[in-house]
Structure 1
Amino acid sequence: MTPPPPRESETVAAAPIEPPPAPDYSHRWGIGAFLLVEAVLLLSAAFISAILQPSSSNEPVSVATIVIGSILPVLIATGVALLITRLRGNGPRIDLKWSYSREDFKVGLKFGLIGLVLTTAAAMIWTKIVGEDNATSAFSALVDSRSLPIAAGIVMFLYAWLVGPICEEIIFRGLLWGALERLQWGRWTVFGLSTAVFAVSHLEPLRTSLLIVIGIPIGLARLFTGRLGASVIAHQVNNFVPALTVLLVSLGVMAP
């Protein structure tokens, strides 16, 4: 005698939450690769600044110096990071867990919006503590009190909103994250260390605590998905308002 068919309530089960993919330790790069990329970033920034520096102390800093000096060193360092994954690993898609799926977008948008609210509140509190004069980031200070040409202002806006987050995520939640995972430390340890290094590496000691708050939701997007695409989206969402502010200030629409 065959058993009766299961009831509909017994056949429909909640879909399990898919855990992040297991770390891949097959690449041949580690902490040394991250330190090399950071050295390239600092040295290229110093070299480019020296080349573009005005010959006279009385000569104002040009728009080209502001734009090129802000963007080019990060692009060079990111290029070195990607090259390392090609030469010493399996490429960025595997080694850095690069992806850009609908799920990445949804998770990244959620953490980005949460982070935007938290960091806006944290920034207001932090500004009251340190004062308005000390609250400006190094990037914002580049365009404060300057009226950039429209093209330069748009370039800075797009970099701060879209391109910069991709570069920083490749370096910190990609290369550094993979290097720490290769040491087989726990996921939360990797999250905590990468967030702290992300904050300290901006070389803005006064803003380090605020940068840690900014980095937490971005790192959580990487932690919970195991993929870089989610943290890129979260970073871009978090950067939109500050990038828009920089654009409006640089174009003279808003007062610095």
Structure 2
Amino acid sequence: MLALVVASAGPRSAALISLAVAAPTVIAAGLAVFITMRRGNGPRTDLRMGGTWRDVRLGLVFGLGGLVVSVAASMLYASITGPDANSALYKVFGDVRASWPWAVAVFIVVVFVGPLCEEILYRGLLWGALERRWGQWVALVVSTAVFALAHFEFTRAPLLLVIAVPIALARLYSGGLWASIAAHQVTNSLPGLVLMLILTGTMPAS
């Protein structure tokens, strides 16, 4: 939402929009980690961040599967909605152009920083609270729904639900957060790459 406000406020730059995109989620995730350190048992326990390389490998598998599913679902969605199929992120950056260093910075935000922070919030903090009270399946369903709706792209919510399911399954079957982080990062890799190429003018925006 902040990014949309910034994008409509006047002249846009990749740096300013990247900051607007990343800042709210980074701050919220940082606050979640801080709270677990001060009031709880720490992020390794409360957010299930004490993972292993097996968790990462499992996340990569779910992420690759999810990437295939998300591409197919996106194509179906685009065939139904037509020219309005682009995500809010593409609309926010619009016709902005950037140098390669800034385009790479945007790629890092979209593929690495954003997924890390979102997973801390949705499948770390929220999942943990729901699981303790109602069990892991309620945690999976509710956190997935909240994740889809929290992007404030309500017409794309069904597509976001489809994209989120493999990420949530990575969290479920691993029992930890690093699998879902890895899955989310793989899922975001293709959109991040496309956006980077668009920003540099290497690929047309449409």
Alignment TM-score, normalising by the size of structure 1: 0.75
* Poorly superposed stretches of 4+, deviation over 4 Å: none
- Is 1:71 matched up with 2:26? no
- CA 1:63 to 1:245, structure 2 compared with 1: closer, same or farther past 3 Å? closer
Alignment RMSD (CA, Å): 1.9
CA distance in 1, matches of 2:98, 2:46: 39
CA distance in 2, matches of 1:143, 1:254: 14
Look up the equivalent residue of 1:199 and give its one-letter code. A
- Is 1:135 matched up with 2:85? yes
CA distance in 2, matches of 1:128, 1:174: 34
CA distance in 2, matches of 1:212, 1:154: 27
- Is 1:174 matched up with 2:89? no
For residue 100 of structure 1, report the CA deviation from its aligned partner: 4.0
For residue 180 of structure 1, report the CA deviation from its aligned partner: 0.5
For residue 203 of structure 1, report the CA deviation from its aligned partner: 0.5
For residue 171 of structure 1, report the CA deviation from its aligned partner: 0.4
Q: Secondary structure at the match of 1:254?
A: coil
| Other-structure match for 1:235 | 184
Percent of paired sites with the same residue: 45
2:40–2:46 contact (8 Å) kept in structure 1:
yes
- Is 1:207 matched up with 2:156? yes
- Is 1:194 matched up with 2:140? no
1:53–1:65 contact (8 Å) kept in structure 2:
no
CA distance in 1, matches of 2:183, 2:107: 17
- Is 1:156 matched up with 2:106? yes
Range with greater deviation from structure 2 (145-154 or 229-238):
145-154
- Match of residue 96, structure 2, among 124, 143, 146: 146
CA distance in 2, matches of 1:190, 1:63: 35
- CA 1:147 to 1:83, structure 2 compared with 1: closer, same or farther past 3 Å? same
| Other-structure match for 2:196 | 247
Question: How many residues get paired?
Answer: 205
For residue 65 of structure 1, report the CA deviation from its aligned partner: 2.3
For residue 108 of structure 1, report the CA deviation from its aligned partner: 0.4
CA distance in 2, matches of 1:144, 1:53: 11
1:116–1:238 contact (8 Å) kept in structure 2:
yes
Specify which structure has the higher proportion of helix: 2
Look up the equivalent residue of 2:16 and give its one-letter code. T
1:67–1:152 contact (8 Å) kept in structure 2:
no
2:29–2:117 contact (8 Å) kept in structure 1:
yes
- Is 1:85 matched up with 2:62? no
Structure number with higher relative contact order (C-alpha < 8 Å, ≥ 6 residues apart): 2
For residue 163 of structure 1, report the CA deviation from its aligned partner: 1.2
Please identify the structure whose Cα radius of gyration is greater. 1
Q: Which runs of 5+ in 2 are unaligned?
A: none
2:198–2:204 contact (8 Å) kept in structure 1:
yes
For residue 92 of structure 1, report the CA deviation from its aligned partner: 0.5
- Is 1:61 matched up with 2:12? yes
Report Cα offsets for 1:107-138 as digits up to 9, x if no partner: 1011001101111100000001111x211111
Q: Secondary structure at the match of 1:99?
A: coil
For residue 199 of structure 1, report the CA deviation from its aligned partner: 0.3
For residue 53 of structure 1, report the CA deviation from its aligned partner: 7.8
Q: Which runs of 5+ in 1 are unaligned?
A: 1-41
Q: Secondary structure at the match of 1:202?
A: coil
CA distance in 1, matches of 2:152, 2:89: 11
